[in-house]
Amino acid sequence: MTAVRRYPVLLALCVGALFMVLPFAIVAVNAVKSPAEYSANGPLSLPDGLYLDGLQSFWERVDFGQKLVNSVLISGSVAVLAVVLSVLNAYAIGIGRIKGRTWVLAFFVLANMLPQEALVYPVYFLSKQAGLYDTRLSVIIVFTVIQAAFGTYLLSAVLGRFPREIIEAARIDGANAWQVLWRIVVPVSRPTIGVLLVFFFIWTWNEFLLPLVMLVSNDNQTVSVALGVLQGQRLMDATMTNAAALLGVLPAIVFFLVFQRTLTRGIAVGAVK
Amino acid sequence: MTLTVERGGRVVEQHTGRARPRRPRDPYALFLLPGVLAFCAVVVVPFLMNTGVSFTEWQGVGSPTWSGLANYRELLDDDEFWASFRHSLFMVVAMAAVPTAIGLVLAAALFDFVGKHFGSRTAAVLRACFYLPQVLPIAVAGIVWSWILAPEGGSLNELLKAAGLGSWQQDWLGDPDLALYSVMGVMVWVQIGFPLVVFMAGLQRVDPQLYEAAELDGAGWWRRFWHITLPQIRPETYVVLLWCTIAALKVFGAVYVLTKGGPGGATNVPSYFSFTTFFEKTQVGYGATISTVLTVIILVLALIGLKLQTRAEDAEDGVRT
């Protein structure tokens, strides 16, 4: 391929990539403008200086710190619990090769594909009966199970290829199934487990429908729900909208930068099996 | 306790070999117990309840009254329902067909063009840019875009004005003829990173010799793309199409935040339709009917998809061995 034709392709790809990140840039630029500056120059001008009062007043108005705590608490708990549940399931299916494992696995896969709309009302109703409505615990329980469906599917495939000699050797040394799981299978599968932890965390962070239904009070809402509800009410002015968008985007970018390698590797693992 | 069961299992296994199932009880089945119980409580029971409620009239309080197939008959005559499913098909185009097609070309270009001539770092940075919207909560993406697409002072309209195309300005999300396409555009932006990353990973296992041989034979980039890249990453393509189609049928957050199904139901989709029927109209029975139909469609698609996928994998294994 000649150099003459190389650069136009690269250029086209760069323009495409720029278009993808442009919305983030526009949001960042406008979140640091004062309302006066915004109304004078519109959304496309560069800011004169850093005006952080908009961000600060938005933060205080929606108690954003509390929303972050809720999101971290819910996503973190779900990630850990769902991984534990997935490991237990996958151990029985992938290594234990229990009878009827194909059916059990198919059951988990289908459960994973079920639209949440088909669960949302009964979950809402049952959690009210159980006194769990509008608690973070209810959301943690539901998403632990929903995420574990995917985890079971992925881990079962990975553990199905686990070298059996290692397990046999441990057995001969007198380890029981429980010890084999925690001392051998889990440490060896650490890369896959890491991928699952990151995925579950981010997926739960981004969830919308169920948290929207389950978490009605301000003190329990996640970042996604709080911002979505605010947007739905159409009460925000331009500066506030930008503050909201920037504060919503920032955690996602942080996760992305921190977890980028795990994410891209993980998607590959997930798709191949 | 576990140990004894375990030993029993081993002994039996030694005696009977593999032909007979292990007798006392499968020791590993215990590990499945918490998972199965949790699934029954959170997925199976609510799902069965939802299906049951779909055959009743129920306002969410009191006890439901049995109405048989009345809800389903009503659904067949409900224009709003058919419209929402038509919009779903548009979403499948925007979230599955278009991102997969663009993703294939982008992945091939990034992998064997940018990656080879400009280094894999450049390719990784570009890939990261395309993937970024995927990690964004959909609610936040909705806020960003509804502000960009706003009719008054929205960045897109301002940009058009600055470019001297003031007559192209539109009320992107408020015009019933346009809103669905605007939402589709946003969904393409959201979705494109997923196929791209999967395809780029898939391309890594394609034998580079295939490309070299084709290049020696004088095949240009498009021909290599068509005859080598596409067939080689067909398994990934199946998976991506299936996952994206299902995601498209489930789309909720974007519609909730961008348009609330409006204007005048122009962007209503089944999941949003069932949500409003459940929680705003409190016609729980009818809402359950909508979500049950949606579930059936998704499960049928999923089964077909999985079947195709295993068949493709079997065919592939056949070629390899």
Residues A93 and A202 reside in one and the same domain = yes
The partner residue sitting opposite A231, judged by closest CB among B139, B197, B250, is B139
Asked if A168 and A95 sit in the same domain, the reply is yes
Q: What is the DSSP string of A72-133?
A: HHHHHHHHHHHHHHHHHHHIIIIIS--TTHHHHHHHHHHHHHS-THHHHHHHHHHHHHTT-T
pLDDT at residue A4, as a whole number = 55
Over the stretch A44-68, which tens digit does the pLDDT of each residue have?
777 777 778 888 888 888 888 999 9
- Residue A53 in domain: no
Same domain for A131 and A246, yes or no, is: yes
Residues A173 and A250 in one domain: yes
CATH topology of domain B79-316: MetI-like fold (1.10.3720)
List, for residues A180-228, the tens digit of each pLDDT value: 899 888 988 888 888 889 889 988 998 999 999 999 888 899 999 998 8
Nearest-by-CA chain B residue for A140: B42
Contacts of A272 in chain B (CB under 8 A): 201-202, 235-236
Domain limits for position A141? 63-272
Among B4, B71, B88, B144, most A C-beta atoms within 10 A, so best to mutate, is B144
The reply to whether A67 falls in a domain is yes
Does residue A55 form part of some domain? no
Residues A103 and A37 in one domain: no
Contact A228 B197 (CB under 8 A): no
Q: For residue A73, is it within any domain?
A: yes
pTM score over 0.80: yes
Q: Are residues A167 and A256 in the same domain?
A: yes
| Number of Cβ pairs < 8 A linking chain A and chain B | 288
Same structural domain, A135 and A250: yes
Q: Quick one: A132 and A170 in the same domain? A: yes
Using an 8 Å Cβ cutoff, are B243 and B117 in contact?
A: no
Q: What letter would DSSP give residue B159?
A: H
- Residue B31 to residue A181, Cβ atoms within 8 A: yes
Residue A35 sits in the same domain as residue A105 = no
Q: Which of the four pLDDT bands, split at 50, 70 and 90, describes residue A271? A: low
One domain, residues A67 and A34:
no
* Mean pLDDT, range A74-83, rounded to an integer: 95
The domain spans of chain B are 79-316
CA–CA gap between residue B138 and residue A87 (Å, rounded): 29
* Residue A5 pLDDT level (bands cut at 50, 70, 90): low
* Shared domain check, A118 and A8: no
Residues A33 and A86 in one domain: no
How many domains would you assign to chain A?
2
User: What is the arithmetic mean of pLDDT over B276-304?
Assistant: 91
pLDDT reading at B207 higher than 70:
yes
The answer on pLDDT for B116 being more than 50 is yes
